[in-house]
Amino acid sequence: MRAITCRMSRPAARLPPRNGYRGDVARKSRNRGGATSARTTARPPQAADAATAGAAQTGTAQLTAPATTDASQNKKTRAYPGQQLGLPERGPGSVSSMPRRVLALFIDWLLSMVIAYWLTHSQFWTIAVFAVEVYVLTALGGSTVGKRLVGIRTVRIGGGPVGFGWALVRTAILLTVVPPLLTDRDLRGLHDRAANTVVVRI
Choosing from 27, 42, 57, the residue where a domain stops is: 42
Residue 69 belongs to a domain: no
Residues 56, 48: Cα–Cα separation, whole Å: 12
Residue 22 belongs to a domain: yes
Residue 181 belongs to a domain: yes
Q: Do residues 37 and 110 both lie within one domain? A: no
Q: How many domains are contained in the chain?
A: 2
Q: Which domain holds residue 15?
A: 1-42
Q: Do residues 104 and 31 both lie within one domain? A: no
Q: Do residues 103 and 197 both lie within one domain? A: yes
Angle between helices 126-140 and 163-174 (to 10 degrees): 150
* Model pTM score: 0.61
Q: Do residues 108 and 177 both lie within one domain? A: yes
Q: Do residues 38 and 102 both lie within one domain? A: no
Residue 130 belongs to a domain: yes
Residue 146 belongs to a domain: yes
Q: Which residues of 51-90 are buried (b: 16+ CB within 10 A; e: fewer)?
A: eeeeeeeeeeeeeeeeeeeeeeeeeeeeeebbeeeebeee
Residue 102 belongs to a domain: yes
Residue 135 belongs to a domain: yes
State the 10-residue block means of pLDDT for the chain, 202 residues long: 44 49 49 45 48 49 48 60 91 94 96 95 93 96 95 91 94 92 92 95 94
Q: What is the DSSP string of 115-129?
A: HHHHHHSSSTTHHHH
Distances (CA, A) of 17 to 3, 11, 26, 60: 25, 13, 15, 63
Residue 86 belongs to a domain: no
